[in-house]
Structure formats: structure tokens, C-alpha cells
Structure 1
Amino acid sequence: MSLRLSSLLLLLCLFSTAKFSTAQTYGRNGMVVSTSSVASETGRDILKKGGNAVDGAVATAFALAVTHPSAGNIGGGGFLVYMDANGEATTFDFREKAPLKATNDMFLDENGDLIENSNHFSAKAIGVPGTVAGLYKAHSKYGKLPWKEVVQPAIDLATNGFIMNWSLYNAAKYFESKPTEYPMMQDFFNNHSNAIVEPGGVWRQPELGKTLSIIRDKGHNGFYKGEVAKKLAAFMKENGGIITEKDLAKYEAIERKPVVGTYKDYQICAMPPPSSGGVTLISMMNMMEQVNFDTLEFNSTPYVHFVAESMRRAYANRAKHLGDPDFNPDMPIDFLLDKALAKELVADIDMTKATKSDSSNFGQMPEGDNTTHLSVMDKDGNAVSLTYTLEYAYGSGMVDKELGFIFNNEMGDFNPKPGVTTSTGQIGTKPNLIEPEKRMLSSMTPVIVAKDGKPYLVIGSPGGRTIINTVFQTVLNVLEFEMEIDNAIEAMKIHHQWLPDRIMYEELLMSPDTREALKSMGHDLRGISRLGQLMGIIYEDGIFKGASDSSSGEGAAVGY
């Protein structure tokens, strides 16, 4: 991660550097949880109008594109898991794609070395956006209210404005201090007087409102053909990008069968590849099912060690095997989900010392932390878990001022250098090398868990490469330790991703004794302020219980 991005992330977390207790919200008729209270209220209002969970999710997602521009987007992509009230589930893949002109060495110099920042901070780093296609496809099949009605609230927010908060203001001041590095972000947060909107003032985005109005009126084609597509392609050409009108016209979201696993009496439904989240999470849950928790105390040193070793093994398999299924038809998904494999992996764990990860085998590419997640349930018990992203905070830092939205930098999620894997986390394995029209591998992990055949837990998180592990531990907290959703979200979490070979941990929540014991076992530890920003709902006995991670700042669970 670049120093400038790290500085921005630190700034954005200024008022939320640690996890504290967060209030659980209740409702009888529905619940929306997102990282923006304004967006959550938007989704709640759609539910009140008679919309279902898909309507609420679409309205919330478009609202986040206005109120949470660091990750909410129409210039990025993501994944949606839908489960109806009877437990039938499906998923929608609207991950970005590599443009037609992409090549597997496009970010390398004449010596075959990676050009610094080229795969994250350049127009070539922008993947073909998928968000509008995914939301439109999911709504077309499962939405209840008219498309125009669920998009309109976001248009109103963009056109009429909403109250500027401190998080957005701090981001604006950061960009203002970096005019050379972020020239296109210099007036993004400005008002009509060409000054940054102060906290408490009204921030309006009329250009974004116009773009959303076209999407409202023309649906999928409003973004991928016509006026918006022409302007987008012209922007790319002018700034050295390679996305064309043909790329946009060819883009389609894909409905895919979920990956499904079980944990005791629960059914886990999650995204299949090109999301690696579902396969990896279920693999780890299979490993945890082998444990006798009567002898493995929650958050004890042996517990943390075992969880870290499970993560290490699951992430190693992720890096070796997973990619875009349309380009890797022989991925061994059934093998990775097999409980027999979990038994073998658990049997290989030494409870007295850490395993060592070998970079000469395979590793794990880093991903940007600034994704966002929303969870929605309606009065009938239908559920949506949706995660989408621009990759880094504010994506590529490139914005088309005529269209009013920021572009992703998702091409950085591909393996940039074929065949080269390093101990720092760069990976060169074949399944995730750049190819035209290929979807880059992702860690996004929207999940719905069913109990007695009906939606029970809806959960997801941002966090880049840490997403899978934060969601995994939260699911385990609810299913195994019977925690309420707020406690499950706020409990201490760790992260191990095979390479780099270290445990990341929430430093205010792990005891000094546990740290020293883990170090004596051979673990390398790195303390951080927080892992993830989880947004979850539990539905039981006719009551919705929702919680937004306290570290999300502006996030909120809104029920009615």
C-alpha cells in the first residue's frame, strides 16, 4: 500500500481508531445496515413504501454512491447475495472486468519490473465498472417497486445535497494538500463558491445527479451505452486509459449459483468465484467444525493460534486455485469445500508452534481496504447481502467532472507479474493473471446464513484482503458462541493471509500475555487499530436485530 494511501486511510479513521460498544437496533418490519446513516434511512424508506429487500438494497447502494464516495460507487463493482424467505438463494456477480486491450504485462517496464503505482494510480488501473449492471440485473429479476422509484432518492440526495460530515471534510482537506498526486480530486468536495463544503453545510453533486437521472430513465443502457458511455470512453482516451465504448457495451453482470456449506445445523450461502470469499470462509468454517470448543476457550492463546493456522491454510489454497471461473473452468471448488479436506488441514496444525509460509510456493496479492457493505431484510424475511468497492479509498483518485463519479483502480487486484511470487505478498500464479474481459479475483465476502431453512444472519464487511477473515470470525461468533450481532461484530479479530507470514490483530483488544505467548510460538505479530467495518442483521422470532460496526463512524442500522 502506498504511503499516500496509508495517510489517507489514517485520516479517514481519525475519529474511529478503536472499537467500542455499539448499540443494537431492533425492528419488526425490516432492517437496513450500511456505513452511512443517510443511505440506511434511504433503504428503510423504500421498505416502508412496500419495497422488498432487493429494492431496499438497490436504493441504499445508489445512495451510498452519493454519501460515501470513498467506496460507495457507480464507478466500481461488487457482489450481491440474495436469499428469499424460504431459503432459496442466488448471487449476482458485477465485478469489474479487464478492458479488451488489457495484457498480462501492461504494468511492467521494458525490464519486466512493475512500474510503481501504475496498476493503482493511473487510468490504465481502471477496470470496466459493473455496479450499475449488477444492481439493474438483480432488480429486474427480484425487485418489486419500479426501477425509477428506487433510484430517485439517490438523485435527490445528489441534487439537493446532504449535510457534510467530518469524515468527508477530512478527506477533502487531505486531497487539497496533495494537488500534484490527486489533481482531479481538488474541487470534488467544493460548493458553488468553489470552496470545500464545511461540516454542517450542504454538499450538492449536480453532475452526479444528472448521471443518475440517465440511469433512472434508461436502466442498464443509461450507463453502458449512449451519452454516459461516450463521455466515459472520451475521458479514458484523454487520460491514457484503455476502456472503450465497446468495453462498456459488452459488459454484463452474471447471476451465479452460490457456494454453499454447512456449519452444524446452519447453512452458509456465499459468493462463488471470482469472489474468493465464499470458498475460503466455508473452508475455514469446516476446519472450525473439527474443534471441541469445550477445551478451546474463546480468544485464548490456543484459540488464536488455531484460528490463525486455519486462515493460513485456507488463504494458501485461495491463492493457488481461485480466479475468474469463466477463464479457469477447472477450479477445484468441490475439493476446497470438502469437509474431508478440512480434517486433513486441521490434522497438520501443530498446537505448539507456528507453521512457516513459503513464498516459493504461492502467496496472496494485497487488496485495497476501502470497500463498503450493506445488509437488508424486509418484512417477509427476504435478505440481501451486498458488498461493492472502488478498491482503494476513492479508487484511482480520478473523477470525470462531467459525470460526477470516481473511478475504481481494480486492475491492481490482478497478479501483475506472471510467475513471480514474493514473501511480501506479490503473487504470480496463473488463475488471476490479466486477460481481456477477465474479472479480477476479490476478497469481498457477502454472506447469508440460513437457520431452519430461512434467512437468519446477513453479514459482510469492507477491509480488502482482511474481509474474509473478519466475516468468518463474526459468523463463527454468532453460530458457535451464540453472540448477539453487536457483540459478534465488536469482538476481537485477527487476520492471517498466508503471505506476508504474520498475524494482524486489534491491538487494544488482545492481551499482552496472549501476544507474548504467540510470539514464543513463532508467530510474527502486527497490531492495528481495527479489522473490518461489519454490517449485520440477525432475524429470529419475528424480530430484526441490526448493528453497524462502531469503527464505521457514520454507519447505522435502521429498522422499523
Structure 2
Amino acid sequence: MKSHPFLIVAALALVPVSFAAPAQARHAARQVYDKGMVSSADPRATEAGLEMLRAGGSATDAAVATMLALTVVEPQSSGIGGGGFYVALQPGGKIETIDGRETAPAAAHPQWFFKDGKPMTFRDAVPGGTSVGVPGNLALAEKAHRRHGRLKWSRLFQPAIRLAREGWAITPRTRQFLDFAKGSAGFTPAGMAMFYDASGQPLPAGTMVRNPELARTLEQIARRGAKAFYSGANARAIVATVNTASRNPSQMTLKDVTSYRAKDRSPLCGTYREYRICGMAPPSSGETTVFTVLKQLERFDLKALGPDSPTAWHLIAESMRLAYADRARYLGDADFVKVPVAGLLDEQYLRSRSALIDPGKSLALVTAGTPPGAEALVRADGTAGPEHGTSHFVAIDRRGHAVTYTSTIESAFGSGLITGGYYLNNELTDFDMVPEREGRPAANRVEGGKRPRSSMAPTLVFAPDGKLRLAIGAAGGTTIPAQVAKSIIGVIDWGMSAQDAIAAPLIFAPEGPVVFVEAGTKLEAMIPALKALGHDVRTRPGGKANAVEVIGSTLRGGADPRSDGTAATE
């Protein structure tokens, strides 16, 4: 996922616990809770998850039902036409991660987004077929359910089917997306008919929308399993839709779809101030970036500085700049390129990077470092575009099974293509469009079968006693690691609740010279102080995060006030 900064969405030992099998990750303490909880970006999706918990389902059941309901009520953000990352804590303490990231067609190549010998702009590349990767969410969901589901697979689909068939009301936020992203939401006749009136204007908030075609698709998958999506009529429809698109037709084959597999990945775990933090390994760049931001700050007393200190936010921004520089240069699909994960998390390396941070002034220039094991892979000068199409949700059941799951279709309404009643992603524009620079390959260049780099960072945080403290994640493209790191700092260093930490203002500092602070917050009042420290400061909107925290045997939810999100117990 990518984010354009001006558009809405967007002392130092960090030792990975395991890069082998997930089962080898150190087990967390077993916990049980008074009631289960779900937090998501839409109350109707939250209720879908809670329905599963009330029926005796697991957190995985709840998370899958939530993802399916979001397909219906938050079509601009996520769903079965996209992919995701699943991070789970099992009741016995095992941490498991599943990669449901989309894949490029086998025909894809480094010049996939070239036109007339030149790389396309992000905006030109998004609409149509070439931006579409093979969706991974349903393969991920089925794999997780087979292992950890307690209810029948078909049961998980019932809330989403009801919503699609009986109708759902357009929210004011969705109405804003329909206005802002008319070119993608209404790219096809089906999208125009569903969301716009005869004059081409978005339907007003409160309008009931029905999607019987999506209901039929979900009914088929509920009866036959994920094979109903990855084979047969639905698979053929995906291929035909992307290959005959009026703009940027693709070269996807039926084999590309039928051969898709969700992958188990080793959980990436490390420590920050005696707290253990676990998340996704590559192709996610999210967790490595979250870790790096935090670990480079560990030598500073953020608690003493507090959230009202411009110096604290300056330090956070400087650490982000360094972390994002390494992210841009080294992160990609580890099945295709050597990603120096261990080197990026190496104690000595992080100490050297942290030493570059000066509390009294901003770095004039930030570049990627050279971690142990790094190869000569460079970021291409690709085009970073807007990211509006992501959703995060958390489900925890009373037995201690916790799931933090980020789902995405990348931009608002993805590629704009609809088949089976759902939008197809534009995830392939997360690749670098320029495949090399100075004769050296980019780690995140386009290749057939490859998964594009992602910023998604579904995260579990464990207290020093080994018990789960926080399950969190965010939406917002490249701002996701910034949002998650800021929220973890809020909980650990500043003693905030998860709700308050999520609601706290966002500072976003990619590797360039510009630092973005959230408009209309106390950070905007700190702009003079940040400029005095040498920052080029501009404003931007905030993000969209969801979390559940643990207080004793009680779960407390966090839902971003910037969104329609809710958190509720069963």
C-alpha cells in the first residue's frame, strides 16, 4: 500500500525470536477473559464478529465474519477482492501469522507499468486490469478457519449475506469516498448503478444499498468453500474482468487464480522496554518499520518528556525518517529477494542508527543504512499514490484466542473493477514502477508471482509478565507503521488507554525532508517548535486504527474516532 502525503488515506536490542517455524516462537502466558471483544472500522462489521462470539465461535470465526461484512459495508477499503495479513495468539500461547497478500500474474515483468517506454504515473496505473493482483483474503480465511474455527464455515457468511441481500445504509464517511473517488467507485456500470444516481451524483448518506450479486457470490463460497472463489465461474470471471478492462487490460490466466495459496510466515518478534512485540515478516514492511522506530527511541526517556513535548515528537519523527529510509531500500517479497531482516534488527546496527538522532536538531539528510547481510538493492524512483482502501480489525474470544487482521484492496474502491458484486484490488501498484536505478534492481520491482511490499502491521504486544497487553493495527498506506508505533508509545511510554493512544495526533515522517503533522490537533500548534528544530513541517489528515487492550481479565476496545469504527463486547 502506498500513500500520497496530501490525500486522505495514510539503547537498542531488537532480537527476532524466530525466523524458522512459527511454533518455535516463545509462548505467551495463557489468558482468559470475562467476555470476548471485536473492534473494527464499521459497527455492522463489529456486530458480525460479535454474532460469532455469542454463538460460541472463536476469535478466528469472528475475524473472518468481520472481514466478510466489511466486503459489503466498506467496499472502498477491503474485502474478498483483496488480501490481508493475519496475526493470531492461540490459547496455548503459540503465535501464528498467515500471509494472504495478493500475487502478480505469472506474465508480470519489471516493465509491467510502462507505457510508451516510460513508467506510468500512479493515477494512470490504478484503474483497470494491470493493477489487479490475485486476491488472497479468502485463502487466508479458509486456512485460518480450518485450524482455529469452532463454527461451521457457512455460518461465518450469514451476517454478510444478510447485509448484501437486505441492504445497508451509506454512511457519511462512505458518501465522502464516493464523491472523492468517483472515477474508481463508478468505473464500471455496476459501480455507477450501485452508488450513483441518474445524474452521476453519489447517493446521499442514509440511502439503503443492496448488492444481490455479492450475496449470491458469498452464498456460493459459504456452500463450497474457497474453491468456489479460486476455481470455476468466479475464477473465470476475475480473469475475464481484468483482461478485458477498458483501461490497462491485464494478462492474468486462470492458472494464476487457481494456483494462489496463502502462506504461513514465521512471526517476527522483538522487545521494546521489556514489552514483547510480534507481527508479520516480509512481504510486510510494517512490523520491521514499527520495531525500528521503537528501538531507535528506546534510549530516550519519552515518558519524562510526555506527549505535550515538541522534543518527544521531534525524536519520533527522526526515528521514523531513519526507519522509512531502510524500509524503502530493503523491503520486498522475501520469496524473491534477500531481505536482510536480521540485519535490520541487529542490536549494533540499530545502536548506530539511533546515534544519528539529535534531540536538538533535525538531520539535514536521511539515507538508508547498511545493515548486516544487505545486498545492493535500491528503491526505484517509483510513484507513490494515494491509499484509501484498507481496514483493520481485532477479535479476541474469552478463551484467550486473539486475532489482529489487516485487510486491503489498496486504493479507494481498488482498481474500480467489479466482478461477483465485489471490487477487485489495485494492489500491484504497491510495486515500484521503476524497476532499477543506476543499473541495480529494486527489491520491490514487479515480477511474476511476486507479492508487493505492504505497510500493513497487525501487531500483538505482550507485557513484561508475558501476558497479552494489546492487539492493534491500522489503515493508511505508508502511514500504518507510524500509526502503530505512535499508539504503542502512547500505551507503553505515556500510560494512555488504547482508545486515547489511537486518538492521539499522528506525526508521519518518511525519509524525505518533510514531516507531516495531523491537521487540527495539538501537533499543529507545535509547528513553530518543530521548525525551530530544523523540520520542514506540513499538515495532513490522520489515520484509521483499531485495537483491543487487556486490563486484567477485561478487554477494552479502541476504535479510531476519525472513522466509523466501533469496539464492543459480546
Rate the CA distance shift 1:540–1:464 in 2: closer, same or farther, 3 A.
Answer: same
Q: Does 1:496 align with 2:509?
A: yes
Q: Does 1:405 align with 2:422?
A: yes
Please tell me the residue identity of whatever aligns with 1:458: A
- Counterpart of 1:478 in structure 2 is 491
Partners of 1:364 and 1:30 lie apart in 2 by 46
Partners of 2:558 and 2:224 lie apart in 1 by 35
Rate the CA distance shift 1:396–1:355 in 2: closer, same or farther, 3 A.
Answer: same
SS of 2:548 mapped into structure 1: strand
Partners of 2:499 and 2:6 lie apart in 1 by 28
Partners of 2:521 and 2:122 lie apart in 1 by 35
Q: Where does 1:95-244 land on structure 2 (aligned, <5 Å)?
A: 95-114=101-120, 117-172=123-178, 185-189=191-195, 198-239=204-245, 240-244=249-253
* 507, 513, 517: which one aligns with 1:505: 517
Q: Does 1:304 align with 2:310?
A: no
Instruction: Name whichever of 162-171 and 37-46 sits farther off.
Output: 162-171
Partners of 1:70 and 1:79 lie apart in 2 by 18
SS of 1:124 mapped into structure 2: coil
Q: Is the 8 A contact 1:320 1:429 kept in 2?
A: no
Please tell me the residue identity of whatever aligns with 1:327: F
Q: Where does 1:502-541 land on structure 2 (aligned, <5 Å)?
A: 502-510=514-522, 514-530=526-542, 532-541=543-552
Q: Is the 8 A contact 1:187 1:196 kept in 2?
A: no
The CA deviation at 1:188 is: 2.5
Rate the CA distance shift 1:435–1:170 in 2: closer, same or farther, 3 A.
Answer: same
Q: Does 1:355 align with 2:367?
A: no
- Counterpart of 1:16 in structure 2 is none
SS of 2:312 mapped into structure 1: helix
Partners of 1:89 and 1:170 lie apart in 2 by 38
Q: Is the 8 A contact 1:119 1:411 kept in 2?
A: no
Rate the CA distance shift 1:8–1:121 in 2: closer, same or farther, 3 A.
Answer: farther
Please tell me the residue identity of whatever aligns with 2:353: L
SS of 2:195 mapped into structure 1: coil
Please tell me the residue identity of whatever aligns with 1:351: P
- Counterpart of 1:247 in structure 2 is 256
Partners of 1:91 and 1:3 lie apart in 2 by 25
* 464, 467, 483: which one aligns with 2:477: 464
Q: Is the 8 A contact 2:81 2:409 kept in 1?
A: yes
Partners of 2:431 and 2:182 lie apart in 1 by 30
- Counterpart of 1:23 in structure 2 is none
Q: Is the 8 A contact 2:38 2:49 kept in 1?
A: yes
> CA-to-partner distance for each residue in 1:250-272, whole Å, 9 max, x for gaps?
10000111100112232111111
Calculate the TM-score normalised by the size of structure 1: 0.88
The CA deviation at 1:55 is: 0.5
Q: Where does 1:33-52 land on structure 2 (aligned, <5 Å)?
A: 33-52=39-58
The CA deviation at 1:340 is: 2.6
SS of 2:112 mapped into structure 1: coil
Partners of 1:363 and 1:300 lie apart in 2 by 36
- Counterpart of 1:558 in structure 2 is 568
* 280, 284, 287: which one aligns with 2:293: 284
SS of 1:504 mapped into structure 2: strand
Q: Is the 8 A contact 2:325 2:367 kept in 1?
A: no
Partners of 2:552 and 2:476 lie apart in 1 by 32
Partners of 2:3 and 2:143 lie apart in 1 by 38
Q: Is the 8 A contact 1:271 1:445 kept in 2?
A: yes
Partners of 2:127 and 2:218 lie apart in 1 by 26
Partners of 1:250 and 1:81 lie apart in 2 by 23
- Counterpart of 1:415 in structure 2 is 432
The CA deviation at 1:196 is: 6.8
Q: Is the 8 A contact 1:29 1:378 kept in 2?
A: yes
- Counterpart of 2:448 in structure 1 is 436
- Counterpart of 1:19 in structure 2 is none
The CA deviation at 1:475 is: 1.0
The CA deviation at 1:72 is: 2.4
- Counterpart of 1:70 in structure 2 is 76
Partners of 1:551 and 1:515 lie apart in 2 by 22
Partners of 1:463 and 1:206 lie apart in 2 by 30
Partners of 1:534 and 1:396 lie apart in 2 by 23
Q: Where does 1:49-60 land on structure 2 (aligned, <5 Å)?
A: 49-60=55-66
* 300, 323, 333: which one aligns with 1:314: 323
* 363, 373, 392: which one aligns with 2:392: 373
The CA deviation at 1:112 is: 3.1
The number of equivalent residue pairs is 532
Rate the CA distance shift 1:75–1:404 in 2: closer, same or farther, 3 A.
Answer: same
Calculate the TM-score normalised by the size of structure 2: 0.87
The CA deviation at 1:436 is: 0.2
Rate the CA distance shift 1:294–1:2 in 2: closer, same or farther, 3 A.
Answer: closer
The CA deviation at 1:132 is: 0.9
SS of 1:91 mapped into structure 2: strand
Rate the CA distance shift 1:269–1:112 in 2: closer, same or farther, 3 A.
Answer: same
- Counterpart of 1:388 in structure 2 is 407
SS of 1:158 mapped into structure 2: helix
Rate the CA distance shift 1:338–1:4 in 2: closer, same or farther, 3 A.
Answer: closer
The CA deviation at 1:169 is: 3.6
Partners of 1:156 and 1:109 lie apart in 2 by 43
Partners of 1:100 and 1:304 lie apart in 2 by 44
Partners of 1:241 and 1:5 lie apart in 2 by 29
- Counterpart of 1:15 in structure 2 is none
Please tell me the residue identity of whatever aligns with 2:406: T
- Counterpart of 1:18 in structure 2 is none
Rate the CA distance shift 1:414–1:511 in 2: closer, same or farther, 3 A.
Answer: closer
The CA deviation at 1:548 is: 0.8
> CA-to-partner distance for each residue in 1:26-49, whole Å, 9 max, x for gaps?
x93111010110010110010010
The CA deviation at 1:456 is: 1.9
Please tell me the residue identity of whatever aligns with 2:435: P
Please tell me the residue identity of whatever aligns with 1:325: A
Please tell me the residue identity of whatever aligns with 1:386: Y
- Counterpart of 2:18 in structure 1 is none
Partners of 2:269 and 2:529 lie apart in 1 by 36
Q: Is the 8 A contact 1:413 1:442 kept in 2?
A: yes
SS of 1:461 mapped into structure 2: strand
The CA deviation at 1:397 is: 1.5
SS of 1:186 mapped into structure 2: helix
The CA deviation at 1:285 is: 1.7
SS of 2:455 mapped into structure 1: coil
The CA deviation at 1:237 is: 2.5
Q: Is the 8 A contact 1:316 1:497 kept in 2?
A: yes
Rate the CA distance shift 1:484–1:364 in 2: closer, same or farther, 3 A.
Answer: farther
Instruction: Name whichever of 467-476 and 80-89 sits farther off.
Output: 80-89
Rate the CA distance shift 1:277–1:128 in 2: closer, same or farther, 3 A.
Answer: same
Partners of 1:8 and 1:295 lie apart in 2 by 33
Percent identity over paired residues: 33
Please tell me the residue identity of whatever aligns with 2:488: V
Instruction: Name whichever of 121-130 and 159-168 sits farther off.
Output: 159-168
Q: Where does 1:270-281 land on structure 2 (aligned, <5 Å)?
A: 270-281=279-290
Q: Is the 8 A contact 2:413 2:425 kept in 1?
A: yes
- Counterpart of 1:22 in structure 2 is none
Rate the CA distance shift 1:177–1:81 in 2: closer, same or farther, 3 A.
Answer: closer
Partners of 1:456 and 1:352 lie apart in 2 by 33
